[in-house]
């Protein structure tokens, strides 16, 4: 492994919340990412698009630290994730990265409130009561507070996604990574959820990376990053 690096900023220059450099990743039979570079600034919304198999979801999983790149570096808030010990990398992820995966992926044995409280409990920095109050506040913002005592198995796809968004945002992450966040919703429900997600990220000056094949989702972004066969085909500013 190469020497760990820490990014520093010159005066007046901000460190990117997410910075990926020449990232490569391969599954046993397929090269999924072939030298991807990506910088995302605080408050910026970036849509990652591309046809199926272009590497979109792999890019998100590598950015989240769920997959380790074969080569290249991933910095979150200036810290190289791959160079950190596992415990430190997990802590960095819990504190600073909110993740919304396809279909929500909630813990089925926990209530909705417990699912959303989980990132705060794992971090151990808050009393249970204040953690639950904060979780309840996010459920209210996502318009699912009435489901606090329900269990994931009782939720519709759309409700699960809203709870997953609340869970991703509850710890106040600097970086939010979302993989097809509106995939299981109808167009009106999807539009509403996307609006809530983007508004919360913009209000909190959070960086948001959304992987999507839905043009309407991509169009809310400030920038589109188009992947083709594991490389960035082009980037386009949409604002």
Partner 1 sequence: MGATEVVLAVMLGGPQHGYEIKRVHDEWFPSGKPLAYGQVYATLSRLEKDECVEVVETKVDAGPERTVYALTDRGRQRVEHWLSEPLVDGAVSVGELVRKTVAAVRTSSDPRPMLARQRTAFLRQMHDLQQATAADPLSVLARDHVLAHLDADLRWLDRALERVADVNLEAAR
Strand partners, 6: 79
Residue 199 found at the interface with partner 1 (CB under 8 A) = no
- Ordered alpha helix ranges (H), the chain: 56-63, 86-96, 112-123, 128-141, 157-169, 187-203, 215-218
Which run of H or E residues covers position 98?
A: strand 97-100
Part of the chain binding partner 1 (CB under 8 A), chosen from 36-44, 175-183, 204-212, 228-236: 228-236
What count of residues does the chain have?
239
In which residue are the tokens 């900023």 written? 9
Residue 203 found at the interface with partner 1 (CB under 8 A) = no
Residue 218 found at the interface with partner 1 (CB under 8 A) = yes
Q: Are 169 and 95 in contact (CB under 8 A)?
A: no
| Alpha-carbon gap, residue 102 to 118, rounded angstroms | 19
Residue 236 found at the interface with partner 1 (CB under 8 A) = yes
Residue 233 found at the interface with partner 1 (CB under 8 A) = yes
Residue 180 found at the interface with partner 1 (CB under 8 A) = no
Query: Left if phi > 0, otherwise alpha if psi is -120 to 50, otherwise beta: which for 216?
Result: alpha
Residue 226 found at the interface with partner 1 (CB under 8 A) = yes
Residue 219 found at the interface with partner 1 (CB under 8 A) = yes
Positions 15 through 74 that interact with partner 1 (CB under 8 A)? 51
Q: Are 102 and 183 in contact (CB under 8 A)?
A: yes
Determine the size of the site formed for partner 1 (CB under 8 A). Answer: 15
- Shortest separation between residue 198's beta carbon and partner 1, angstroms: 10
Part of the chain binding partner 1 (CB under 8 A), chosen from 95-103, 119-127, 162-170, 225-233: 225-233
Residue 239 found at the interface with partner 1 (CB under 8 A) = yes
Sign of the torsion angle spanned by Cα atoms 105, 91, 85, 209: positive
Residues that bind partner 1 (CB under 8 A): 51, 215-216, 218-221, 224, 226, 228, 233-234, 236, 238-239
């Amino acid at each position: 492994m190469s020497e760990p690096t820490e990014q520093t900023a010159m005066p007046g220059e901000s460190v990117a919340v997410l910075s990926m450099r020449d990232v490569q990743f391969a599954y046993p039979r397929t090269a999924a990412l072939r030298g991807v570079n990506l910088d995302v600034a605080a408050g910026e919304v970036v849509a990652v698009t591309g046809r199926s198999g272009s590497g979109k979801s792999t890019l998100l999983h590598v950015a989240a630290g769920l997959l380790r790149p074969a080569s290249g570096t991933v910095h979150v808030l200036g810290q190289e994730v791959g160079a950190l010990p596992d415990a430190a990398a997990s802590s960095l992820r819990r504190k600073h990265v909110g993740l919304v995966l396809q279909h929500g992926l909630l813990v089925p044995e926990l209530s909705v409130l417990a699912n959303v409280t989980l990132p705060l409990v794992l971090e151990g920095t808050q009393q249970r009561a204040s953690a639950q109050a904060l979780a309840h506040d996010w459920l209210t913002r996502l318009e699912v507070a009435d489901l606090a005592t329900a269990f994931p198995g009782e939720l519709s796809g759309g409700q699960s996604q809203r709870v997953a968004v609340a869970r991703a945002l509850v710890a106040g992450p600097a970086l939010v990574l979302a993989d097809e966040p509106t995939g299981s919703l109808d167009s009106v429900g999807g539009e509403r959820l996307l609006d809530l997600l983007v508004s919360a990220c913009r209000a909190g000056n959070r960086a948001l990376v959304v992987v999507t094949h839905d043009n309407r989702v991509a169009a809310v972004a400030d920038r589109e990053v188009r992947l083709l066969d594991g490389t960035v085909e082009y980037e386009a500013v949409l604002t």
